[in-house]
Amino acid sequence: MRIDIKEAAEFLRENNNYLILMHASPDGDTLGCGTALCGALQRLGKNAKAVCPDEIPHKFDYLFDACENQDFEPETVICVDVADTKLLGDMKELGDKAKLCIDHHVSNVEYAEKTLLDPQSAAACEIICEVIKELGISFDAALANSIYTGAATDTGCFKFSNTTPKTHRIAAEMIEHGADFVNINYVMFDLKTPGRLELEQQAMKTIRYYANGHIAVIFAPFSMISSIEGIDSDDIGLLASMPRKIQGVDIGICVKEKKKDEFKVSIRSSEKIDCAKIAKQFGGGGHERASGCSFYGTTIDYAAAKVVEESEEALRKAGII
Amino acid sequence: MRIDIKEAAEFLRENNNYLILMHASPDGDTLGCGTALCGALQRLGKNAKAVCPDEIPHKFDYLFDACENQDFEPETVICVDVADTKLLGDMKELGDKAKLCIDHHVSNVEYAEKTLLDPQSAAACEIICEVIKELGISFDAALANSIYTGAATDTGCFKFSNTTPKTHRIAAEMIEHGADFVNINYVMFDLKTPGRLELEQQAMKTIRYYANGHIAVIFAPFSMISSIEGIDSDDIGLLASMPRKIQGVDIGICVKEKKKDEFKVSIRSSEKIDCAKIAKQFGGGGHERASGCSFYGTTIDYAAAKVVEESEEALRKAGII
């Protein structure tokens, strides 16, 4: 059942002993939602804890200043920023008992008893922010940090096309409430580990251009990934956006060897090209500007060549080459 | 004489034939101010043109959609985002005749007859935005692009500590008026020329760490800079911020050889260190987190060694090493 902000606030006032589930491979939005909602419920006099099926990267530690560790028997399950219980890893069964889900994914499968869904929100944290206001809780710096983090990270620091005037107005309010945005943005967007730096450098050395520079491809073979110390999936994931940043490139491709004979191809495109269509040719999918597909039992060069071929076709259809 | 928004609007309504001066080495803020104010005055039925003593990089071309080319005899000089007429290059003499200056630099020397100054504004565009509202001009997408560009570029995409709630609220409004923020941010922050990419790669290869990784130094000797095609001062300037982004680095140093025997050292620091004090030891200056100094008639290694020595001293004083 779909509910609105007021009904969600009412539900939260009426129940107690909340277990808030955040999705696997946690990001700034799900963690911002979980910690902010948990802290708000505790300020309301409720018992609450926010948990995640996966280990939480240390860079997010500060978010947990928004709430306290409480020991109690969980009773009411809430999922935040979780479109489907499949995204809950080992906690899927708990998710299947969800009484409430607060989310912004248009793909939400409405698995919870009640769903507060707003696909217009760039971040689920924007919805949590409104729920907290409806509950009459005033923001302190810790709550503001959590909400700001979700809004900033899900919009690539207000750069992505999902950013709305509301995203900026929420950021403004959170800064007024003391959000430490300078350090948050430094850690989320600018800080690089020596491992990430090395990976970026090595991957960029592999760059190949096609179609008169409209296509750029970088490669991350398993031998490269395994030779660099201290990198994680986050670091490897960020390679995907690099080739498209080069001037003149309309289609940026990154081919990663996940394990022997398994290749993940990430595609990023300018507004002139719908790269979801390219990925679809190989059983993949995604969005217009960011998509991906996988190849098995082949070589890294074959995977790249196939995607380049399809990309050239897309450039031709768009009249670019 | 200091004036307020209302008085500035009154002045603009009363006069005509405006020559708007933007500072040399133009950035997104001065160009955003100049083009937005010029467009607004034209919509008010006035004659206006915005000029800059230096060539304007092509990436800013879109800003000039906010105003039209008009042919008339200039009468009233206005300076935007110009703290001192020394920053006007060949147009200094014109600047000395300024009737009005609209600026946000606390260092403004108040050279104009009337000065509208707000050092609380992250960008001078924020002040221009209020002036335009006071004039009763409604924003279209082109005006919104100009104001948004100033606000975004002067805050490093809302990351720098000068960002305020007002900056975000203005961004929100400009998006509502149609600012093409996705493309603006792509061009201003993400797009890299092949030359910039090559320069970054070569410079990062020179990295040396000191003080247990709390200091990182990169080098850009003249031989490197001159060997890479298609780079400009903007590309070289951006090297300064790279070493500080590495995890664990409190002081990031970049030593550039501007010409034979002339070295420019840029220093960036975490909140634990005041790097203006380090630069001051060598006759330089700047801000707490971003400073610089120059060395002459020496070697690149000597310049680096001296700054590293002083940086180690600063780390010791701060109890970091």
Answer yes or no: do B161 and A182 touch at CB < 8 A: yes
Rg over CA atoms, chain B: 21
Confidence of residue A64 (pLDDT cuts 50, 70, 90): very high
At B232 the pLDDT is 84
Mean pLDDT computed over B1-11: 98
User: Is residue B260's pLDDT more than 90?
Assistant: no
User: Is residue A13's pLDDT more than 90?
Assistant: yes
CB B48, CB B155: distance < 8 Å: no
Answer yes or no: do B169 and A166 touch at CB < 8 A: no
Q: For residue B164, list chain A residues with Cβ-Cβ distance below 8 A.
A: 175
Q: For residue B163, list chain A residues with Cβ-Cβ distance below 8 A.
A: 175, 181
At A234 the pLDDT is 81
The token pair at B229 is 């095609």
* Angle separating helix axes B194-205 and A194-205, nearest 10 degrees: 130
Mean pLDDT computed over B132-147: 98
Using a pLDDT cut of 90, give the percent of chain B over it. 91
B106 interface with A at CB cutoff 8 Å: no
Mean pLDDT computed over B153-165: 95
Report the DSSP pairing between strands B251-259 and B262-269.
Answer: antiparallel
Distances (CA, A) of A277 to A185, A287, A290: 33, 9, 10
At A232 the pLDDT is 84
Residue of chain A minimizing CA distance to B157: A157
Q: How far is B317 from chain A (nearest CA, A)?
A: 23
Query: Any idea which residue has 């000395």 for tokens?
Result: B96
How many CA atoms lie less than 13 Å away from A287 in the CB half-sphere? 11
Q: What are the tens digits of pLDDT across the range B74-113?
A: 999 999 999 999 999 999 999 999 999 999 999 999 999 9
Strand partners, A290: A268
Mean pLDDT computed over B235-246: 92
Mean pLDDT computed over B159-180: 97
Question: B199, B217, B231, B244: which is closest to B301 by C-alpha?
Answer: B217
At B233 the pLDDT is 82
Mean pLDDT computed over A288-297: 92
Signed CA dihedral, B143, B144, B146, B150: sign only: positive
Question: B8, B21, B27: which is closest to B127 by C-alpha?
Answer: B8
Which residues 6+ apart lie within 8 Å of B98 measured at CB? B21, B77, B78, B79, B85, B111, B112, B113
CB A260, CB A222: distance < 8 Å: yes
At A68 the pLDDT is 97
Q: For residue A183, list chain B residues with Cβ-Cβ distance below 8 A.
A: 271
At A26 the pLDDT is 94
What's the mean per-residue pLDDT of chain A? 95
Comparing CB atoms, the residue among A158, A171, A191 nearest residue B245 is A191
Q: How far is B279 from chain A (nearest CA, A)?
A: 23
At A193 the pLDDT is 87
At A215 the pLDDT is 98
**Could you tell me what percentage of chain B is helix, strand and coil, using 3-state DSSP and rounding each to the nearest 5?**
45, 20, 35
At B287 the pLDDT is 84
In this structure, how many other beta carbons lie within 10 angstroms of the beta carbon of residue B320? 16
Q: What are the tens digits of pLDDT across the range A173-203?
A: 999 999 999 999 999 999 998 899 899 999 9
* E strand or H helix that includes residue B202: helix B194-205
At A86 the pLDDT is 95
User: Is residue B288's pLDDT more than 90?
Assistant: no
Confidence of residue B291 (pLDDT cuts 50, 70, 90): very high
User: Is residue A36's pLDDT more than 90?
Assistant: yes
Answer yes or no: do A157 and B159 touch at CB < 8 A: yes
Answer yes or no: do B168 and A171 touch at CB < 8 A: yes
Q: What are the tens digits of pLDDT across the range B187-233?
A: 999 999 889 999 999 999 999 999 999 999 999 999 999 999 988 88
Mean pLDDT computed over B13-34: 97
Q: What are the tens digits of pLDDT across the range A113-168?
A: 999 999 999 999 999 999 999 999 999 999 999 999 999 999 999 999 999 999 99
Residue of chain B minimizing CA distance to A172: B165
The residue type found at B287 is H
Query: Rounded to 5 degrees, what are φ and ψ at A301?
Result: -70, -35
Mean pLDDT computed over B118-145: 98
User: Is residue A261's pLDDT more than 90?
Assistant: no
**pTM (predicted TM-score):** 0.91
Mean pLDDT computed over B69-75: 97
Q: How far is B174 from chain A (nearest CA, A)?
A: 8
